[in-house]
Amino acid sequence: MMKFPRKLMKGGTIGLVSPSSPVDRQREEACIKVIEDMGYRVKAADNIAMGADGYLAGPDRRRADGVNEMFRDPEVDAIFCVRGGDGSARIMEYLDWDAIASNPKIFVGYSDVTNLHLMLSQKCGMVSFHGPMVSSNIVDHFDDVTRSSLFDTINATEDFLYRNPAELEIGVLCPGKASGPLTGGNLTLLAASIGTPYEVDTEGKILFIEEVHTHLSNMDRLMSQLRNSGKLARAKGILLGQFTDCESDGGDYLMYDMFWDMTADLDIPVMYGISSGHGFPMTTLPIGAQCSIDTEDRTIRFHVER
């Protein structure tokens, strides 16, 4: 059973990292200020505003070192990603997984950060958090639901029920009950991991999926990759998150028709409408934590061990 990392206390130190794409210097300063204004100290990796490599926040090794150093630094209590973007797959071979596993800490991010979440649980035995990023969410869009979900989840001390925003109902695509460690993240990243040393392992797990700016026909292709590789069939259950600005052809065949076609014959529960991904509000999910889902009462429960 994977353990939650130690809690983040007020006045603790949060390390800011950019494992993928950069922000500009002014935005970096805004990220530091918003965390300090919440009562935390900040240590920022030196590549956050390094945009000389175009869509990358610096050279591959330097982006990896930014993450490695935050895990090794005894003064850093939690690590928040500034943003996603592109390029995390390029740093995986340079991450010091042994050092990371020896220094478990709160790690928060989503989207391109999916690659790191998979290995933090699969390789390091660490619960990490699919939650809001500093520039993408906290600076401009830190609503009450997003804020409370983040801090309640990373600091949970006992088992808890997942809560969607009050106005958003969780739906059921396929009925049933299931339990297993939570895995997953962004659909594009999950499909791209297949065939690499960092491939998503869905065996006996609850698979969470979200996506952004992707046409239905491309999501069909990505889901087919997961299905044809056995990743869907090996899962105990599936949770579908936010699919922000994901368009269809405008015909009668819609996104959830595609998800039904991909999962209906698997005899596993599938729930949708989980408010986590690229939308607002964004709830936080503990990747690697034991998760139990029940479509009858539409509940998602997480087990907390510290």
Q: Which of 21, 88, 111, 135 is catalytic?
A: 111
- CA dist 187 to 132, 192, 242, Å? 17, 9, 11
Q: Looking at 211, 278, 292, 303, which residue is catalytic?
A: 278
d(CA 243, CA 212): 5
Q: Which pair of structure tokens corresponds to residue 131?
A: 């939650």
- Active-site annotation holds for 229: no
**Of these residues, 21, 28, 210, 275, which one is catalytic?**
210
Please state, in angstroms and rounded to a whole number, the distance separating the CA atoms of residues 228 and 127: 28
Catalytic status, residue 303: no
What's the CA gap between 113 and 305, in Å, rounded?
24
Catalytic site includes residue 111: yes
Which residues carry out catalysis?
Answer: 111, 210, 278
